[in-house]
Structure 1
Amino acid sequence: MRNYLKFSLLFVFLGLGASLVFLQSCAQMASPPGGKKDTLAPVVVTSIPINKSKNFKGKKIELNFNEYVAVKSLNQELLITPSIGNYETRIRPTGLTLVLDSALKDNTTYTFNFRNAIEDVAERNKGKNIKLVFSTANTIDSLRIDGRVKLLQTNKKADNITVGLYPYTDSLSIAKAKPYYFVRTDTSGTYALENLAPGKYYMAAFEDVNNNLLYNSAKESVDFITEAFIDLRKNETRDFTIALQNQDSLKLSKTTSTAKTILYEFNRGIKAADLGFSSSEKPLYQVENDRNLRIYVGALNKADTLRIEAALEDSIGRKYKFKLKGKFRELAKKEKSTYAPLSFDIFPKLGAQIVPTDSVLIIFPKPVLQWVSKKVHILTENEDDLTFPDEAFSWNKFQTVLTIKSAFLPKAPSFTLALDKIAFVGPEADSTNEYKQLIKRVDPEETGSIEGGIRKPGQYIYQLLKGEKLEKAYEQKSNGTCSFQNVEPGIYTLRAIVDTNKNGQWDIGNYRTKSKAEPIYYFESKIKLKANFQLTDLWINTP
């Protein structure tokens, strides 16, 4: 009996001891309740190799930290230059190990930049500047190229943009070759390529949407050096302004037929279209969303196959000829033909005001088949009912935008645009409803003016932009400075497009020929315009 009691007491003490050890080990994994919050990032205490080591020939890279860590998105966050090929990752509570599949190159300086991959377990504090640099030679390369990257069309800082450095060859293509050194911009749009070896390099910055380190011209904005190469012998600064430069040829990607329309979808933008039809009846058509062709059935026989000779001009001015064919689909027995009124938008928008040079626009989503000009009229404050002469109107090519010219509008402070019922008929036997909209003129005393631009002579397209989305509010073309009159009060961004080829529009570049996009320059700060103010000498700095 006494031995049994001894054994029982021993078992209890052992159980209590084990519980205390377990509780103590658990307590070490988290901060004590009510204690000071851990705000310190993980710190590397040892590494293989040691940072800035020379003559390293191993195949194992190891980091050890001063606390428990988690490793997040290592494949995206870890940047290794030059590339080492494949490796195996082994993660431990306080560190990680990379086991390389192949030997390191001789006489090479390597950089392992872990960026935001490491954070502590307790408070998710991210490791700062966790970078391992070492060399397989007697020296460590120390040259550097830094700079910043912006978006050309918005002047905003470009985050997470790949900046690549390529060994120079005559036949180099950034669409086919990966950079030897690369880095990605931070949230401020800045980058730094460090520990570079002397030599001749080509250089480019691009979005790298799919993270394959290859430039895709159809989807990724880009900028590049125009000289053949950089002969890197000392530290340099290089800035980039990236923009989409899609050079893909225009191709038909999809055809969709309904009982009322045939839609031809293309892979890139269409600037102009002229269509010839096989039928004696010429159906209405339009360029839709700046990249697709829509054909309307109208009075055509749906049973006939429609054959089209299409002369198209893409968004960068290249001309193509397409032979298209299509057939309108018959309505299924269970399908019902639905009717909806022909919709439209008015410029100015409801509540907006116009200046003396503004026309009034009626904008339709589809071509107008027929209309009655006398059903478009003006009601004045004096209860006059005014119609327009034919010369007051003009249509765009596709009969989708009707302009009522400014010279024919009443000079009164306000008037009402009135549309009678069935003023416009669409291609699907749809028509407009009755509509009225009050239109007010801006009082000149309530506007201001903005003058300035670029001092040196040249062909420029000046624009005043509003809001964070930089929506175009005013535009003028000039071979010198700009002068915007009757501008509504507000906060604006002033930018100047250098119209190098004098075609009246901004043109993209071509990375294949090392031709840059037409430059865009911005006034250095936002412009706050108040009523009856004249802002002058707003000069835009250029290189």
Structure 2
Amino acid sequence: MPKFLHKLAFATFILFLSLSMFQRCAQTASPPGGKKDTLAPKIVSSIPLNKSKNYTGKKVELNFNEYVNIRNLNQELLITPNVGTYETRIRPTGVTLVLDSTLHQNTTYTFNFRNAIEDMSERNIGKNIKLVFSSGSDIDSLQISGQVKHLETNKKLESILVGLYPYTDTLRIDQAKPYYFTKTDTSGNYQIENIAAGKYYMAAFHDINNNLVYNSNKEPVDFITENYIDLSKSQTQDFKIALQNQDALKISKTTSTAKTVLYELSRGVKRINIEPKTLAYQIESNRNLRFYVGNVEHQDTVRIMATVTDSLNRIATLSLKLKFREPNKKEKVVNAPLRIEVLPASNHLLSPEDSIVIKFPKPIALINTKAISFVTGPDEEMQLPDEAYRWNNFVNELSIQKSYLPLRTKFDLKFSKHAFVSVEKDSSQSFTQSFEFQDLENYGSISGQIKSPEGKHIFQLIKSDTKVLAYQQAGLNSFLFPHVEPGLYELRAIEDRNGNGVWDLGNFKTKEKPEAIYFFPGKIKLKANFQITDVLISAQ
């Protein structure tokens, strides 16, 4: 046979073989489309079996009815009580945990996989995948459940750790891990099951670093005030967590110049008292303490005692050594006018509740009240007595009390040049701003009471959209906000146990709870010229 015929026959054979294989593959392939898999993986077998007794092995194994994906096992898997470290072996249809240590005797264990198991194809998450077994002859059956909210917002919280600790009189939740624990679901609910009867302490906190140990510096917490719960039957326990930073107030950084010394503090400051009182100083950004050279010589070192009330209403005493840097001859002296800010701003109307506030970037050394006047009409100008003006503690914010403001719908506030001189000798320029009172009919009012034992409270109206505090007043069991701008508000009442006018946090070390916060359910929609009365807050 000629050579080219051999090649032709071979090519024909290859073509026939390829067509045959293609046809065979096409016949066995699954048709496209079809019903979507919506079923979650299910356990078909496990080691040990669920609810097993007398299991003392060191292997825990789950096998599923389909291919699965194991995700975030370290975060999702909750094992109570703690079994220590283990090795994870992931298979296409399951997972095996090999324990490094032996199980405790007569103990019921729960392996809760939560959202760790999903099928491979559609990522359907397995629900309630949990394995319970006992190393003894009984399975413990007690449970405790409840809900966790944020104390300040009343919001239900997810992924908050709730723990039970075996009671001892020296227990510290910032040093010990819970024996039983779980985490809240998306509705803030939790449930700890298969608990042995006994005495337990209990706490809930946001375990940010997932180490099962409470960190007071960063993690909001709540706890029982009793020494322990004597758990003999199933019960409920709710929590409201709040930050309770117990770290001591510290100076994190000091910066000295020829004119000022700045101390940066580790926490915010609400109030401060300085000795000696002759020094010029102020608080900046709510947490930094700045001193001005004023009448202090650069070569002098001034010893200062600062009594600070921090943002958590805790009082600390700081001992400071104040030393200004020697001036540099090359440093240029820049003379700039003293800046001022007047509130309400020029584009805002005055409320009947408003005083006029003048803010300065630094303490003021001198004020000339004769250079401050109100223009109330053509050729009408008035000045106020000195008692109309009130300085804050740092002498950098001046209030003109509302009771002294002109009884006019419109007026102008005017400063002559050099009305204010700062501690650094710079002075203000001439200034004029117009004011107008809002029509009273553009306001509404909200009044009511809190249903609780007689006591002092702080009532707050909060803007619903921004969560910014809009109005606040102190009282006993009733409240009245007479001039409220129309809008949507949330209302809460803070228990003021010590009558200091601020909300005080608790102390987990002494089992002292924060002052309680009670919320009016829902939101209050206020319209102009409307009166909302008989608003009732329940102290539950």
TM-score (norm 2): 0.88
Instruction: Report the AA paired with residue 534 of structure 1.
Output: Q
Give 1:143 shift.
1.5
Alpha-carbon distance in structure 1 between the residues aligned to 2:528 and 2:181: 50
Alpha-carbon distance in structure 1 between the residues aligned to 2:322 and 2:13: 92
* Contact preservation (8 Å) 1:306, 1:325: yes
Identify if the C-alpha distance between structure 1 residues 352 and 194 changes in structure 2 by more than 3 Å, giving closer, same or farther.
farther
Instruction: Report the AA paired with residue 42 of structure 2.
Output: V
1:38-89 Cα offsets, whole Å, 9 max, x none, are 4443333333223332222221222233333333222222211111100111
2:176 matched residue in structure 1: 177
Counterpart pick for 1:411 among 393, 407, 411: 407
2:143 matched residue in structure 1: 144
2:471 matched residue in structure 1: 474
1:287-302 to structure 2, matched below 5 A, reads 287-298=283-294, 300-302=296-298
Structure 1 segments unaligned to the other structure (5+ residues): none
Alpha-carbon distance in structure 2 between the residues aligned to 1:18 and 1:306: 95
Say if 2:454 is the partner of 1:465: no
Counterpart pick for 2:515 among 493, 498, 518: 518
SS in 2 for 1:512: coil
Identify if the C-alpha distance between structure 1 residues 335 and 382 changes in structure 2 by more than 3 Å, giving closer, same or farther.
same
SS in 2 for 1:137: coil
The percentage of counterpart residues that share the same residue type is 56
2:529 matched residue in structure 1: 532
1:314-352 Cα offsets, whole Å, 9 max, x none, are 456655443311433456788766666544443334544
* Contact preservation (8 Å) 1:154, 1:470: no
Give 1:267 shift.
2.9
Say if 2:489 is the partner of 1:492: yes
1:208-287 to structure 2, matched below 5 A, reads 208-277=207-276, 282-287=278-283
Identify if the C-alpha distance between structure 1 residues 429 and 76 changes in structure 2 by more than 3 Å, giving closer, same or farther.
farther
SS in 2 for 1:454: strand
1:356 matched residue in structure 2: 352
Instruction: Report the AA paired with residue 201 of structure 1.
Output: Y
1:80 matched residue in structure 2: 79
Alpha-carbon distance in structure 1 between the residues aligned to 2:257 and 2:17: 82
1:378-409 Cα offsets, whole Å, 9 max, x none, are 34465744433222111011102210010111
Alpha-carbon distance in structure 1 between the residues aligned to 2:523 and 2:433: 33
1:451 matched residue in structure 2: 447
1:92 matched residue in structure 2: 91
Alpha-carbon distance in structure 1 between the residues aligned to 2:77 and 2:334: 57
Identify if the C-alpha distance between structure 1 residues 323 and 17 changes in structure 2 by more than 3 Å, giving closer, same or farther.
farther
Give 1:480 shift.
2.5
* Contact preservation (8 Å) 2:313, 2:505: no
Identify if the C-alpha distance between structure 1 residues 80 and 250 changes in structure 2 by more than 3 Å, giving closer, same or farther.
same
Instruction: Report the AA paired with residue 516 of structure 2.
Output: P
Structure 2 segments unaligned to the other structure (5+ residues): none
Give 1:461 shift.
1.3
Identify if the C-alpha distance between structure 1 residues 292 and 44 changes in structure 2 by more than 3 Å, giving closer, same or farther.
same
SS in 1 for 2:74: helix
Instruction: Report the AA paired with residue 149 of structure 1.
Output: V
Alpha-carbon distance in structure 2 between the residues aligned to 1:422 and 1:12: 102
Alpha-carbon distance in structure 1 between the residues aligned to 2:478 and 2:223: 29
2:53 matched residue in structure 1: 54
Question: Which deviates more from structure 2 when the two are superposed, residues 431-440 or residues 488-497?
Answer: 431-440
Give 1:227 shift.
1.4
1:393 matched residue in structure 2: 389
* Contact preservation (8 Å) 2:464, 2:523: no
Instruction: Report the AA paired with residue 348 of structure 1.
Output: P
SS in 1 for 2:538: coil
Give 1:167 shift.
0.8
Alpha-carbon distance in structure 2 between the residues aligned to 1:74 and 1:24: 41
Identify if the C-alpha distance between structure 1 residues 139 and 346 changes in structure 2 by more than 3 Å, giving closer, same or farther.
farther
Give 1:220 shift.
1.8
Question: Which deviates more from structure 2 when the two are superposed, residues 150-159 or residues 395-404?
Answer: 150-159
1:234-292 Cα offsets, whole Å, 9 max, x none, are 22111111112223333333222234321223333444333235xxx944112334433
Identify if the C-alpha distance between structure 1 residues 36 and 389 changes in structure 2 by more than 3 Å, giving closer, same or farther.
farther
Identify if the C-alpha distance between structure 1 residues 107 and 260 changes in structure 2 by more than 3 Å, giving closer, same or farther.
same
* Contact preservation (8 Å) 2:485, 2:528: yes
Alpha-carbon distance in structure 1 between the residues aligned to 2:387 and 2:409: 23
* Contact preservation (8 Å) 2:273, 2:308: yes
Identify if the C-alpha distance between structure 1 residues 254 and 105 changes in structure 2 by more than 3 Å, giving closer, same or farther.
same
SS in 2 for 1:410: coil
Question: Which deviates more from structure 2 when the two are superposed, residues 402-411 or residues 89-98?
Answer: 89-98
Alpha-carbon distance in structure 2 between the residues aligned to 1:94 and 1:475: 59
Alpha-carbon distance in structure 1 between the residues aligned to 2:20 and 2:77: 44
Alpha-carbon distance in structure 2 between the residues aligned to 1:172 and 1:127: 37
SS in 2 for 1:540: strand
SS in 1 for 2:403: helix
2:373 matched residue in structure 1: 377
Alpha-carbon distance in structure 2 between the residues aligned to 1:339 and 1:58: 81
Identify if the C-alpha distance between structure 1 residues 171 and 422 changes in structure 2 by more than 3 Å, giving closer, same or farther.
same
* Contact preservation (8 Å) 1:81, 1:182: yes
Instruction: Report the AA paired with residue 142 of structure 2.
Output: L
Alpha-carbon distance in structure 1 between the residues aligned to 2:22 and 2:326: 79
1:83-121 Cα offsets, whole Å, 9 max, x none, are 110011122233222111111112111112222323334
1:138-195 Cα offsets, whole Å, 9 max, x none, are 3322211111111111111222211111111111111111100111112221111112
Give 1:19 shift.
9.5
Identify if the C-alpha distance between structure 1 residues 71 and 486 changes in structure 2 by more than 3 Å, giving closer, same or farther.
same
* Contact preservation (8 Å) 1:453, 1:496: no
* Contact preservation (8 Å) 1:119, 1:125: yes
SS in 1 for 2:75: helix
Alpha-carbon distance in structure 1 between the residues aligned to 2:35 and 2:75: 33
Kindly tell me the number of residue pairs found equivalent between the two proteins.
536
Identify if the C-alpha distance between structure 1 residues 21 and 78 changes in structure 2 by more than 3 Å, giving closer, same or farther.
farther
Alpha-carbon distance in structure 1 between the residues aligned to 2:117 and 2:429: 63
Identify if the C-alpha distance between structure 1 residues 22 and 161 changes in structure 2 by more than 3 Å, giving closer, same or farther.
farther
SS in 1 for 2:364: coil
1:426-464 Cα offsets, whole Å, 9 max, x none, are 344444455544433232222222111213422111111
